[in-house]
Amino acid sequence: MKSLPHTSTAFDDELREVRALIGGMAARAVGALQGSIAALDVMDVDAASGIVVADREIDALNEQLETAVVRTIALRAPMADDLRELIVAIRLGSQLERAGDQAKGIARRLRGVDAEFHARHKPLLAQMAAAAGGMLADANTAFQHRDLALARAVRGRDRALNALFDRLTADVIRHMTEEPRRVSAGSHLLSIGKQVERIGDYATKIADNVCYMVTGEHFADWHAGPEPLAPAA
């Protein structure tokens, strides 16, 4: 559901700026996750270091977002849908910034990972990263287009990601038990898996905030009921 244009084109421009900042943060967070997993696959220390440095861009965008939202609220005194969108934008900025931090944390752990041990679990970890990155990208799309159906689909995919993490945990612990000398390497891999799973959690929170933005309620308030409908135009 698209929002209607305002009588003030300046207000529309400000909202577009907010949405663009969210989109930029989301793209960078997804890219950081993909990049950290790719660096891990080939044990590329330089690429991992680049991801750590690039996280500053996400932080800077979040600061710009907060400034833009506060300025718009102060100048426009928005109400109803517009105010909810701006409140949600602040929340999304925080969630995307944390997602970027998780990706940065994965990159920082590269030096502690045992390449041979990681190779055993690479396919499952790659599957987790693809799922979490897809959720985050789709959650941003749901925000940009006020797409409740897509937001709800993102929220539903979190269980599948959690199941993948449970599988990874079981496999890693089994190998650690069989090879006690791999305990340290296994611990690093479990931490990486948890960081990927948390990115999925942030995507889920974004999806819930999209529901709040459009309807004024959270998905949790709907329990197992019908798909929430947008208010009548």
DSSP 114-136: -HHHHHHHHHHHHHHHHHHHHHH
| Per-residue model confidence (pLDDT) at position 123 | 94
pTM for the full model? Answer: 0.88
Residues of the chain with pLDDT under 70: 1-8, 220-233
CA-CA-CA-CA dihedral for 63, 65, 66, 67, to nearest 10:
90
Quick check: 155 and 208 in contact, CB under 8 A? yes
Give the rounded percent of residues in the chain with a pLDDT score beyond 70: 91
| Per-residue model confidence (pLDDT) at position 220 | 67
pLDDT tens, 63-116? 999 999 999 999 888 888 889 999 999 999 999 999 999 999 999 998 888 888
Q: Give dist(CA 202, CA 217) in Å, integer.
A: 18
| Per-residue model confidence (pLDDT) at position 3 | 57
Give CA separation, 162 vs 10, 132, 201, in Å: 43, 10, 9
| Per-residue model confidence (pLDDT) at position 232 | 41
Give CA separation, 124 vs 2, 161, 165, 190, 199, in Å: 38, 11, 9, 12, 16
Residue 91 carries which side chain, given as an amino acid letter? Answer: R
